[in-house]
Amino acid sequence: MLKFYKFRKLCHYIKVSNYANFVRGIQNVGIDDIPKISVTDIRKLLRQKGFAVQDGYTSLITRCTICCDGEKKTENKVFINKTTGYFLCSKCNTYGDWNTLERLIKKSKVDGTLKDYLEKLHQEKSHFLNDWQNVMEQTSSLLDLSETETHDLFRLFEFPYHLEAPKVLCDVRVSKDHTVLYFPLKNTLNIIVGYRKIQAGNEEKIENYGYHIGGLFLCKAQKTNRFEQAILVPSIHDVLHLAAQKVPGNLIWLSNCSLPPVVLPVLENYQKLCLWGDWENMRAVSEKLGEDRCFFVRPTDGLVTASEAAVAKLSLKTLVSEAKPASHRSITTFAALRDDVYAELTNIDKVRGVKWKRFPALTRLLGGHRRGELTIITGPTGCGKTTLCAEMSLDLAQQGVTTLWGSFEIRNFRLARTMLQQFAGVPLEQNLEEFSKFADDFQKLPMFYLAFHGQQPIKVVMEAVEHARYMHDIAHVIVDNVQFMLGLGDEREGDRYLRQDAVIAAFRTFATARHCHVTLVMHPRKERDSEDLSTSSIFGSAKASQEADNVLIIQDKRLTAVRGKKYLQIAKNRYSGDLGIVPLEFDKNSLSYQSKKKPKNKEEEPDKLLDECFQEYSLEAPTAGSDISRKKGKHNRKEHVDSFLSDILNLNRTR
């Protein structure tokens, strides 16, 4: 009995510890993460301390105080991000936030806290160098492979092969069994600071390693100036196709079109950057890099990437040379918009947005989830607005849409627990042995949470949202719910309707200016239970429904009708105008509204019935038995035959 008690206690401890680790793994964005510094303040402090400041596209460049006494003083440069104040020295690999750099600049001597921090960075560097040394020892260079082995390797990873391809990937390391590739990531001084690992058969899952991942994989072009032009593409296949046609410029591989701010110094010195990939993602990349030096390669006839254009036998050189500027300073005629309109018409399926896999009926009505739009979800209290919104966002996050959740009503760990059960599809409390597996997979999703709860000033919330968008390339922001943000700020005594209008206006501006989808969960006014909710039922003035691109209303008729149902009504759809309803059936085990699979077609039922009848009355070998059982069997057989004949007649009548 004592052993059983100890075992149960151990299981409870494992359950609690696993859940605690899962909660700690939630990626929160809080007030402390918002930088409280401006470019003017950074310049002022540096000049007061005698530092010469060079103004770059994305960073302020000055000399490093840590490695200033070493050799090659021209390389002792520290890059300070203009937006966040984050700094990075490519030579000594010292990095951190603005507060750390400010202490390094102001103090003549490094105190104990800074010494511990610098020692920690040194240990991280040593750990990575040992890791990379092990990779070097256990792998070989791609150039060392024979021609046959190179052909087999390219065929295995489905890379396009040409004579110059091995030279393009000369820095790539290959495992002994030729199933794993290691792509080194280099910083501005061509120093390896990380690497990407790709496994054959699982090429979509790219693993990044390094002590701060402040580098990129690039292929240097021949016969061109080092920093004259660079072409940024989303896959290594695009790099190989561009190299095959000898397109001028350095070729840079951006994994999934993502550009963390830590790698911006690598691209600081380029005068022209050509972005070739998905328009939605590349637009966010251009905002970070500075739109004045960015150019877009427009999709041609639905061919979005360089690989698609190369397969269609198009000249990649010509397409790059015809790249259009990312920003229009003044648009006065249709000629300036012509390319944008044509690009949308030739990519109509992608323009519709990311499609929901769990809600195909919603996809048919709305078309998909599009950036730059504002969606409002409303419904009666307790109808499941948060649960539905959580599953819709989870569906998109599983398809790579980076999401920021602002849950002001429910604690983040409870929201994450609901989404984890929706992700797993099973009751977590009954499947504790699989909790670690579900949690590890869920933690890999691009999902972030605002570390706010309760009422917060709209100014603070918008600063956190802007910071998260810049740092993590957020594509979808969810606020649950707007009413909890009302009543705060400098004008507490003002009209609450006006304050709500200010919140909606702020998110509407953010969605349009930052090309990010915003979903607002809002409570309706108190209506009669027998009346359907409409766009005019949203709490506040009419501004919410007027500003929104999509209005989704949960109608719950389960308590007002005998056979009442719950369904999602699309009351406004600015993109296509299609309106309608989506039935909602809640599965308590998975906390999901996911559409159930339809039963088999009714047309198959007559054929199935005939097969069963013929199988039942097929000839069988006689078996020994008593006379009574034989008579009873004959009587039953006669009844079955009559039933069979009536079934046949009924089928003929219905056809």
CATH number of the domain that 183 lies in?
A: 3.40.1360.10
Pair 237, 339 in one domain: yes
- Report d(CA 51, CA 80) in Å as an integer: 13
Pair 337, 188 in one domain: yes
Cβ neighbours of residue 425 under 8 Å, at least 6 residues apart?
590, 592
Q: Looking at residue 184, what is its pLDDT?
A: 94
Q: How many CA atoms lie within 13 A of 570 on its CB side?
A: 21
Pair 453, 341 in one domain: no
Q: Looking at residue 294, what is its pLDDT?
A: 92
Q: How far is CA 629 from the centre of its chain?
A: 70
Q: Looking at residue 621, what is its pLDDT?
A: 46
Pair 164, 312 in one domain: yes
Structural tokens at position 222:
């021949």
Specify if 19 maps to a domain.
Answer: no
Bridge partners, residue 447, by sequence? 403
Q: Which helix (H) or strand (E) holds 67?
A: none
Specify if 21 maps to a domain.
Answer: no
Pair 205, 304 in one domain: yes
Pair 329, 368 in one domain: no
Alpha helix (H) residue ranges in 25-160: 39-48, 98-106, 112-138, 147-157
Q: Map residue 311 onto helix, strand or coil.
A: helix
The last residue of one of the domains, among 86, 109, 132, is: 109
E strands along 533-585, which residues? 550-556, 566-573, 580-583
Amino acid identity at 145: L
Cβ neighbours of residue 482 under 8 Å, at least 6 residues apart?
500, 503, 504, 520, 521, 522
What confidence tens digit (pLDDT) does each residue in 348-385 have?
777 889 999 999 999 999 999 999 999 999 999 889 99
Q: Looking at residue 73, what is its pLDDT?
A: 64
Q: Map residue 65 onto helix, strand or coil.
A: coil
The last residue of one of the domains, among 287, 322, 351, is: 351
Specify if 15 maps to a domain.
Answer: no
Cβ neighbours of residue 487 under 8 Å, at least 6 residues apart?
455, 496, 499
**Burial (0-12, 13-18, 19+ Cβ within 10 Å), 474:** buried
- Report d(CA 506, CA 546) in Å as an integer: 14
CATH number for the domain spanning 368: value is: 3.40.50.300
User: Which of 400, 362, 342, 279 minimizes the C-alpha distance to 593?
Assistant: 362
Specify if 218 maps to a domain.
Answer: yes
The last residue of one of the domains, among 287, 320, 351, is: 351
Pair 75, 174 in one domain: no
Other CB atoms within a 10 A radius of the CB of residue 515 amount to 19
Q: Containing domain of residue 648, as a range?
A: 605-654
**Which residues of the chain are modeled with pLDDT < 70?**
1-27, 29-33, 68-74, 108-110, 212-213, 221-226, 328-332, 336, 487-494, 597-655
Specify if 479 maps to a domain.
Answer: yes
Structural tokens at position 556:
């719950």
Pair 103, 126 in one domain: no
- Give the CA angle between residues 184, 189, 191 to the nearest 5°: 35
- Report d(CA 539, CA 486) in Å as an integer: 12
Pair 170, 74 in one domain: no
- Report d(CA 293, CA 232) in Å as an integer: 13
**Whole-structure pTM over 0.85, yes or no?**
no
Other CB atoms within a 10 A radius of the CB of residue 128 amount to 19
Q: Looking at residue 654, what is its pLDDT?
A: 44
Pair 416, 559 in one domain: yes
Specify if 385 maps to a domain.
Answer: yes
Beta strands 566-573 and 59-63: pairing type?
A: unpaired
Q: Looking at residue 148, what is its pLDDT?
A: 92
- Report d(CA 55, CA 554) in Å as an integer: 52
Specify if 599 maps to a domain.
Answer: no
Helical axes 112-138 vs 98-106, angle rounded to 10°: 120
What length is written for the chain? 655
Pair 411, 544 in one domain: yes
Number of domains in the chain: 4
Specify if 26 maps to a domain.
Answer: no
Cβ neighbours of residue 274 under 8 Å, at least 6 residues apart?
229, 230, 231, 232, 249, 294, 295, 296, 297, 320, 323
For 241-282, give the secondary structure using H, E and C.
HHHHCCCCCEEEECHHHCCCHHHHHHHCCCCEEEECCCHHHH
What strands, in cross-sheet order, belong to the sheet with 217-219?
A: 217-219, 250-253, 229-233, 272-275, 294-296, 324-325
The residue whose two tokens read 């949203």 is 538
Q: Looking at residue 13, what is its pLDDT?
A: 45
Cβ neighbours of residue 419 under 8 Å, at least 6 residues apart?
390, 391, 393, 394, 442, 447
Bridge partners, residue 217, by sequence? 253
- Report d(CA 407, CA 521) in Å as an integer: 10
Amino acid identity at 515: H
Beta strands 250-253 and 217-219: pairing type?
A: antiparallel
**Burial (0-12, 13-18, 19+ Cβ within 10 Å), 203:** middle
Percentage helix, strand, coil for the chain under 3-state DSSP, each rounded to 5: 45, 20, 35
Pair 75, 147 in one domain: no
